[in-house]
Amino acid sequence: MSASPGTTEHKPTTTASRTAWTMLIMATIGFAVNFWAWALLSPLGPLWREEGTLGDITEGDVALLVAVPVIVGSLGRIPVGGLTDKYGGRVMFPIVSLATIVPVLVIGFGGQSSLTALLITGFFLGIGGTAFAIGVPFVNAWFPPSQRGLAIGIFGAGMGGTAISALTTVPLYEASETLPFLLTAVGLAVFAVAAWFIMRDAPGRTVPPGSLVSRVVANSKLSITWLLAFLYAVAFGGYVAFSVYLPSYLKITYDLDPGDASNRMAGFVVVAVIFRPIGGWLADKFGAIYVLAACFVAVAIGATIASFTPILEHVGTFAFLGMAAALGAGSGATFALIAKVTEPARVGGVTGIVGACGGLGGFLPPLLMGYIYGRTDSYALGLLLLAATALVALALTITVIRRKAEEQAALEA
């Protein structure tokens, strides 16, 4: 594929340079720090309701407070991905990080006065969630095709920034109401400065022509974009859904105390984060289609087992941790596939749409699970629906998406 006007051709390599690994480390740190900021409200919402900090608010108000930055961060990936294609990660990472500092500090030093103030600042806090759409095209451009799955998988492990927030925000807040926000703002500022001086866009990066709107429209017309968006909505959306809803599920289904349920949820998150780069590496070795197919089979089996409410030790634990590994690996393999079936100049734009669908895909399952439990006093139907959805994703993967990947490979041969 020829480079666009104004870019420089460079000889493809089969092994990434030391500089490429440095860029990957920086991008992963940036992703984690921005996700740390993005998730600050999630652990504090229930605490504020319990303490009456925001007055007499309902559980629905807490859900809305938590949802606003996540929804904004998910949808914001679409324009940010397009802007990254145009201006590069070296510019976009510092901009997004610095922009996220503002709502973080506003919340920490005055934004906790009312629910309305928090909803407004939470909207702008969502900017931090767009960092994902910067890192994928940035990392993709630095690595040869044979290593892109592993590299993007390692970058994706930065989603563990949400775990940092979950584990540290409440203890820091109890020590000082401003402390978690101040520390997060410092982390964002340090990264933004370091990114400006250390990060560089890959040599020969292809810059797409046309306006942002025209490129978003063009990317949205690609059938592969929406096929991959569905796969990511199942894989990453499933991870998000369980990381949000698993404590409530375990508490109700197995009568665990909140602390035990939260610790088990943390274990689920850790397994998923670890398996994301493993999924990318396996996609490099054996092909993303095979890895995705195996992952969706594992999710279908795990969800089916869980629907029977087996004993938690050891069958239930095995089912949920197996799903965590499959969802993490599937998330990594999805983006390994994006790198192989998308033109380099479109990776950011396609990533934005796919990433947005993945983030939004995490919100329907908890709502559906809660509705089903309220009607049936059981989560079985909800888990069986997850199994059925995984099977649909499996069918798409081994038929339509496989053909699309083979067609793209033939064009590049």
Domains within the chain, CATH numbers bracketed? 16-203 (1.20.1250.20), 212-413 (1.20.1250.20)
The mean predicted confidence, pLDDT, of the chain is 87
Cβ 47 vs Cβ 177: under 8 Å? no
Pick the closest to residue 231 from 298, 154, 289 (CA basis).
Answer: 289
pLDDT at 302 exceeding the cut of 80? yes
What percent of the chain shows pLDDT beyond 90?
47
pLDDT at position 1, please? 40
Mean pLDDT of 251-271: 83
What percent of the chain shows pLDDT beyond 70?
95
pLDDT at 8 exceeding the cut of 70? no
Cβ 353 vs Cβ 228: under 8 Å? no
Give the range with max mean pLDDT: 75-84, 342-351, 374-383, 391-400.
Answer: 391-400
Mean pLDDT of 218-226: 87
pLDDT at position 367, please? 73
pLDDT at 206 exceeding the cut of 90? no
Mean pLDDT of 367-395: 90
List pLDDT tens digits, range 12-39.
456 788 999 999 999 999 999 999 999 8
Cβ 210 vs Cβ 88: under 8 Å? no
CB-based contacts of 137, cutoff 8 Å, min separation 6: 81, 84, 85, 89, 347, 348, 351
**What is the C-alpha to C-alpha distance for residues 297 and 115, in angstroms, rounded to an integer?**
43
pLDDT at position 3, please? 42
pLDDT at 131 exceeding the cut of 70? yes
List pLDDT tens digits, range 56-101.
777 678 778 877 888 888 889 989 988 998 899 999 999 999 999 9
